[in-house]
Structure 1
Amino acid sequence: MSEVKYSGTGAGGGHICIIPFPACGHILPLMDLTHQLLLRGLTVTIMVTPKNLSYLNPLLALHSPNVKPLVFPFPSHPSLPHGVEQMQDLPISFLPDIVNALGKLYHPLVQWFRAQQSPPVAILSDIVLSSWTVNLASHLNIPNICFVPFNVAAVYFWISTPSFLLPFYREAFTMSMQSEGLVFNSFKELESTKLGLIKEKFAKHCRVWGVGPLPPVKVGDEGLNERGGATSIPPDQVISWLDSCKVDKSVVYIGFGTQITLTKHQMKAVASALEESGVRFIWAVKEPMKRAEDGDDDQSLIPHGFEDRVKGQGLVIKGWVPQLTILKHRAVGSYFTHCGWNSALEAIVAGVLLLAWPMQADHFQITRLLADEVGAAIRVCNGLRSVPDATKLARIFVESTTVGQPQRVRAMELQKTALNAIKEGGSSYQALDKVAEELTSFGCNRTEMMKTIRSSL
């Protein structure tokens, strides 16, 4: 393994090491959590591989020298394409391979910790890495806290019915319950019952926190270009187009996150529905993965002639989009989505009606929560390979821009609840304070222990 790059950080009771999982839906909210911990006085070292270093840029710009990167070369793995270090380049079936590759950094991390004069006093790591990070922390005799980027209902379902999980995920979630704490990007007012059940039945301690929806780190003009990548339409042009829309809540935003690519038939159905509906829209189209499943080599194909036929009606953006800024714009009324947790939270914060097409992972539990229990979303389609009926979907698009829909009213009520949770004095704000206090206490305890050891020598 080639040389590790590291810029040392200052000593202090609140120095922690953060180990993220390299997928947008995991690393971005963990960086948002890190931002909140830095604001509360902690000092942070973040372990990344070279192609994920850019995710740290906003934190480095805002918090240097209290945050430092620890860069390891990405370990090779026989199942991973050469040069791939991020999940958005791969189908979800490759997640265990990414975790196992990163697990090869166990011993280099132990060596790094032991070489530090003032090493981190705790590890904060993504829950999917728990199969090795919990043991790493135990080996180093420091606590491990798990960050959970999934919603609480999904995690409760998974750990309550472990037979539903593949062995890799069963091990990860079982190990996470042995950590010193669980930090969920959710809020008590939405998921208090499940938070309590996880605390009582599985974690067996009180260190289970709901700290969401975590506000995004912002640097520069509205933070538009800090999380982005290559895009076919610059963000300022997207916003200008939205500004030109005269009617509030009249635009349908369509996006399926960084992990989902639609098949040719699915793309055709969505395109036909948009044409038939006549609604104004923004459609975010993900770049094809480096390696498609099921021999599907026609993913993300926009139907021939579609963009010409809808010119003036909508925008098709290939690549990265300023999603949160789009959702918060007055012209956007609904969001056709896979209902991934980060996307759902962004819609909640924006007060936008969700049109749910759950496909994999926690999407089904999220849709059940928001559509069936809370009533702030409409279930449109179901399943990774299902193809929506274009005529029915067109009707839903039109109806979703109707201001008086009961689901829209409930979505706006949920928005107020979420914003109250994250403002000063709110439940999530207070939980963030408690997380920071707990992590700082680990440092204080370690300092006292070292004093005792030295005095006995």
Structure 2
Amino acid sequence: MESQMACEGKGVSKHIWVIPFPACGHILPLVDLNHQLLLRGLKVTILVTPKNLCYLSPLLSLHSPSNVQTLVFPFPSQSSLPPGVEQMQDLPISFVPDIATALGKLYDPLFQWFQSHPSPPVAILSDTLLSSWTTKLACHLNIPNISFLPFNVRAVSSWFGKLNIMPSFYTEAYMASIQSWGLVFNSFKELEGENLDIIKEKFTRHDRVWAVGPLLPAKAGDRGLNERGGPSSIPPGQVMAWLDSCHVDKSVVYVGFGSQITLTKRQMKAVASALEDSGVRFIWAVKDPMKRVQDGDDDQSMIPQGFEDRVAGRGLVIKGWAPQVAILRHRAVGSNLSHCGWNSALEGILAGVLLLAWPMQADHFHITKLLADEFGVAIRVCKGLRSIPDSVKLARIFVDSTSMARPERVRAIKLQKTALNAIRKGGSSYQALDKLIEGLSSFNGNKIKENKIRSSIAEQERLHQLFIQVITSLHGNIEDEFKSLFQETQVATALDTVEQLVEEQHLNPLFSDKTNIMDVVHNLSTAKKAGIQYLIQTLVLPFPSHSSIPSGVENMQEVTISFVPDFAAA
């Protein structure tokens, strides 16, 4: 996959501006994508805040400073975030909008940086969760924005179809992603080709959707893989030495729930009991507790007292960061109890291990359905963020997962080969990466080849449909307001009366108690006039001022669709 394909316009490397979302599951795969861009002749500048700079270390050590640069800005203050927090590893998932909002405050300084740069970027490559403002920034700078989605395609296609019922933050972010010049997924065609087609045909209405995964880590070798995270209670070298001492292949169970999940005391006890009773060799990665940002479990990530002593010799408990990729790739590891986050799932697929699925939130449930039900390479263990597994059943699953005869293991090894073929030269992901590089290499300053960036007619129609979806989602509230106003002016009562009279007198010719219809017409006319006048006085108001909307603009015809959230806010 590490091709040295040159960019169009030899001698001039295209400069790409990368804006990641500060969460391990987002920033690390984007770093890996940048590694591929750099290998193929592009230059990148990566926006980062001080406490996230460490995640770029492997990339910076591999490439020349003339090709990869960092743009370090202080993390903007945000009242809803604990002091000093700069990334999602310290927070529950409910704080995603707060992190994105905080980074959006960098809009003006980023705009100024671009304007003053002697050789500014020709495109922005940003995380989908930041698209609500990065797409707008790109529009103002007259350069394209490419959206990177570190989720599985199946989940994204489902989310794109539910924009009108999703929380406003995600609606805005995903609408902006669809509006982006292109979408990049860390997946591969053989795994999610059908859902890729759905996104192209139903949402983007163009083919600039690339599945370029599974993305390989930016630094080859176990030593490089160990440098991707934070501090750990056990040095990576010691972990690998322990695995080397395990003489039976596929006999070790790895337990890890990623960088975002912490277990409660009861969940920890259930997992510990299952590991202890099963008798299997294991490595258990225990994430550090989250910041105390709200009332919750003060007992998160607590290892049962005496557990480590009782399992000494056949098990390792790693507190903090674990070199997960290196662990999964080791010959001794055969299965992985996982939350089925997308990065963990792809790492498991590439390692050919049997996945024991405990989906908890976000896209985990889509991933489990894909891997357990459709491809048969995973075994369902439990589900839910606060669910507690049966420790007796879990112990049996641990024992069974080390068996080489399980059909899920056979299928996992087959899927591993398919994934590796996808990223080899000529494979589907390799070719998709070629096409992505070709697209990025075609950008020339504020233009794409000969033409300024414009949506095709089909794209404009799709964006219009998305706009209608959002407006429709507001229709219920507007309709209720109108009903209330008409009731206040008695228009609704008059209309109901007319409807009743017409029905009675039309359907019953013998009806003798005829009502004077002219009286009703007069009353209705008076009520309608009063209602219309009331509505005019109520609804015809000056357009509210909004800092991000150009002065004097009152409708979407005068701006791009990225301003939809601003109009709604105004």
- Structure 2 unaligned regions, length at least 5: 1-10, 452-570
Partner of residue 158, structure 2: 157
Using the TM superposition, give the Cα deviation of residue 57 of structure 1 relative to its aligned residue in structure 2, in angstroms.
Answer: 1.5
Alignment-mate amino acid for residue 124 of structure 1: L
Counterpart Cα distance in 1 of 2:78 and 2:265: 31
Mapping 1:300-315, distance limit 5 Å: 300-315=301-316
**CA offset digits 1:262-304 (Å, max 9, x no partner):** 0000000000111111111000000001126542111000001
Corresponding residue number in structure 2 for 1:111: 112
Q: Counterparts of 1:198-277 in structure 2 under 5 Å?
A: 198-218=199-219, 222-277=223-278
User: How far apart are residue 224 of structure 1 and its match?
Assistant: 3.7
The Cα offsets for residues 85-141 of structure 1, whole Å up to 9 and x where unpaired, read as 011011111110000000001111111111112110000000010111111100100
Deviates more, 1:62-71 or 1:188-197: 62-71
The higher-RCO structure (CA 8 Å, 6+ apart) is: 1
Which residue is equivalent to 1:16? 16
For 1:292 and 1:77, how far apart are their aligned partners in 2? 13
Partners of 1:219 and 1:427 in 2: CA distance: 22
Residue 160 of structure 1: how far off its partner (Å): 1.3
CA deviations on 1:236-262 (whole Å, 9 max, x unpaired) are 111111111121111100000000000
CA contact (8 A) 1:13 1:121 kept: no
How many Å separate the matches in 1 of 2:410 and 2:295?
A: 41
Is the contact between residue 252 and residue 282 of structure 1 (CA under 8 Å) also seen in structure 2?
Answer: yes
Kindly indicate whether residue 127 of structure 2 is the aligned counterpart of residue 126 of structure 1: yes
Q: 2:296 corresponds to which letter in structure 1? A: G
- For residues 383-398 of structure 1, the aligned pairs below 5 Å read 383-398=384-399
CA contact (8 A) 1:122 1:137 kept: yes
Residue identity matched to 1:45: T
Q: Is the 8 A contact 1:248 1:330 kept in 2?
A: yes
Query: What is the Cα deviation at residue 58 of structure 1?
Result: 1.6
Q: 1:449 to 1:199 in 2, by over 3 A?
A: closer
The answer on whether the counterparts of 1:144 and 1:181 sit within 8 Å (CA) in structure 2 is: yes
Alpha-carbon spacing, 1:164–1:228, altered in 2? closer, same or farther (3 Å)? same
Distance 1:367 1:294, change over 3 A: farther
Could you list the per-position Cα deviations for residues 388-411 of structure 1 after superposition, in whole angstroms to 9, with x for gaps in the alignment? 000010011111011110111111
Residue matched to 2:53: 53
Counterparts of residues 367-386 of structure 1 (less than 5 Å):
367-386=368-387
CA distance in 2, matches of 1:208, 1:448: 19
State the alpha-carbon separation in 2 of the partners of residues 195 and 300 from structure 1: 37
Deviation, 1:443, is 2.4
Supply the AA of the counterpart residue of 1:427. S
Contact 1:158 1:164 survives alignment (8 Å): no
Q: Is the 8 A contact 1:187 1:211 kept in 2?
A: yes
C-alpha distance in 2 between matches for 1:79 and 1:237 = 40
> C-alpha separation between the residues in 2 aligned to 1:91 and 1:195?
29
**Matches of 1:131 and 1:224 in 2, distance apart?**
32
SS of the residue 1:79 aligns to: coil
User: Aligned partner of 1:362: which letter?
Assistant: D
TM-score, normalising length: structure 1: 0.94
Question: Which secondary structure does the structure 2 equivalent of 1:238 belong to?
Answer: helix
**Is the contact made by 1:128 and 1:169 (CA closer than 8 Å) also made in structure 2?**
yes
Change (3 A) 1:335 1:20: same
- Which residue of the partner structure matches residue 7 of structure 1? none
The 3 A distance-change label for structure 1 pair 273 and 83 is same
The aligned residue for residue 33 of structure 1 is 33
Asked whether the equivalents of residues 152 and 191 of structure 1 are also in contact (C-alpha less than 8 Å), the reply is yes
Distance 1:43 1:268, change over 3 A: same
Q: Is the 8 A contact 2:185 2:210 kept in 1?
A: yes
Partner of 2:400 in structure 1?
399
Offset at residue 225 of structure 1 (A): 3.4
Equivalent-residue separation in structure 2 for 1:376 and 1:412 (angstroms):
9
| Maintained 8 Å contact 2:14/2:441 | yes
1:13 is displaced (CA, Å) by 5.1
The answer to whether the 8 Å contact 1:146/1:176 transfers is yes
DSSP-derived class of the 2:254 partner:
strand
CA distance in 1: counterparts of 2:300 and 2:449, whole angstroms: 57
CA distance in 1 between counterparts of 2:332 and 2:346 reads 19
Which residue is equivalent to 2:469? none
Corresponding letter in the other structure for 2:303? I
| Bigger Rg, which one | 2
* Distance in 2 between residues matched to 1:71 and 1:417, nearest whole Å: 39
How far off its partner does 1:444 sit?
7.1
Tell me the matched-pair count: 441
Indicate the SS of the match to 2:447: helix
SS at match of 2:385: coil
SS at match of 1:258: coil
Go from structure 1 to structure 2 and tell me whether the alpha carbon gap of 1:247 and 1:328 turns closer, same or farther (over 3 Å shift): same
SS of aligned partner of 1:335? strand
Partner of 2:522: none
SS of alignment partner, residue 277 of structure 2: helix
Change (3 A) 1:366 1:405: same
- The letter of the residue matching 1:429 is Y
> What SS class does the counterpart of residue 295 from structure 1 fall into?
coil
Distance 1:438 1:419 in 2: 24
Partner Cα distance (2:314, 2:299) in 1: 25
- The alignment's TM-score, normalised by the length of structure 2, stands at 0.76
Q: One-letter code of the match for 1:43?
A: K
TM-superposed CA distance for 1:222, in Å, is 3.6
Distance 2:445 2:75 in 1: 33
- What is the deviation of 1:170? 1.5
2:189 corresponds to which residue?
188
Indicate the residue corresponding to 1:97 in structure 2. Answer: 98
Aligned residue for 2:147, secondary structure, equals strand
Residue type at the aligned position of 2:148: F
Distance 1:165 1:190 in 2: 26
User: Match of 1:354, SS?
Assistant: strand
| 2:105 partner SS | helix
Is the 1:355–1:380 Cα contact (8 Å) retained in structure 2?
yes
Match of 2:285 in 1: 284
Q: Quote the Cα distance in structure 2 between the aligned partners of 1:12 and 1:361.
A: 41
Shift of 1:309: 0.7
- Matched to 1:70, the amino acid is L
Distance in structure 2 (CA, Å) of the matches to 1:43 and 1:218: 18
Provide the C-alpha distance between the structure 1 equivalents of 2:352 and 2:401, rounded to a whole number of angstroms: 13
Structure 2 Cα separation of the partners of residues 116 and 161 of structure 1: 40
Cα distance in 2 between the residues matched to 1:89 and 1:386: 22
Moved more, 282-291 or 166-175: 166-175
Query: How big is each residue's C-alpha offset from its partner over 1:338-357, in whole Å with a ceiling of 9 and x where there is no partner?
Result: 00000000000000000000
Structure 1 residues not aligned, in runs of 5+: 1-10, 451-457
Q: 1:220 to 1:383 in 2, by over 3 A?
A: closer
Contact 1:13–1:442 (Cα < 8 Å) also in 2: no
1:292–1:389 CA distance, 2 compared to 1 (3 A)? farther
* Counterpart contact for 2:255–2:282, Cα < 8 Å: yes
